[in-house]
Amino acid sequence: MNNSELQTYLCEYKHILKKSSNKEEAVIKAASKVQIKEENSNRILVYVGTYKVDKYITGAIELLTYENDPRAKYKKYIDIETGTQHSVNIENVKEFEKENIVIYRDIVMNNIMLHYQNYSDVRNEFFEGILTEPQEKVVLKLARKVQ
């Protein structure tokens, strides 16, 4: 996130906090109002699942599967700053994960929403952190959570 985007976020947060005094709500609302450009992202991504594609009479359907499924086709990640989703073919995952900070969280296989909840937790942690600490320090803290 560049300096102007960071300043916009901090101003928006303070403005919302004056109205509601709920810090968690202010973080979420301010973060949702700040538009971060892809080129300014710190490239912190949360892993949200591994998918395979099964073909049925009505066509191909993507299905969430376990991480080491030999039939897996791709993994999905979401950028915590921009909200951009990345679907990465299994054969390109190692290179992709070397180029980005990828955070893995415990996953319950049958509940896709848990993946997105983890994304929200990491995103909120980032935006809460930059309220009191330099952005670089918050990025390093999140990077240490990588498996």
Q: What is the pLDDT of residues 12-52, one digit of tens each?
A: 888 888 887 788 888 888 888 888 888 888 899 999 888 99
Over residues 85-97, mean pLDDT? 96
pLDDT at 94 exceeding the cut of 80:
yes
pLDDT at 75: 94
Which of 23-37, 43-57, 68-82, 95-109 holds the top average pLDDT? 68-82
pLDDT at site 111? 55
**If residue 56 lies in a helix (H) or strand (E), which one and from where to where?**
strand 44-56
Average pLDDT over residues 68-78: 92
Q: 86: pLDDT confidence band, cut at 50, 70 and 90? A: very high
- Asked if residue 64 has pLDDT above 60, the reply is yes
* Residue 70 DSSP one-character state: T
Counting Cβ atoms within 10 Å, is residue 75 exposed (0-12), middle (13-18) or buried (19+)?
A: buried
Range of lowest pLDDT (44-48, 51-55, 74-78, 103-107): 103-107
Write the single-letter amino acid at 46.
V
pTM: 0.79
Signed CA dihedral, 44, 48, 49, 52: sign only: negative
Residue type, 91: E
Q: Token pair of 58, please?
A: 């009505």
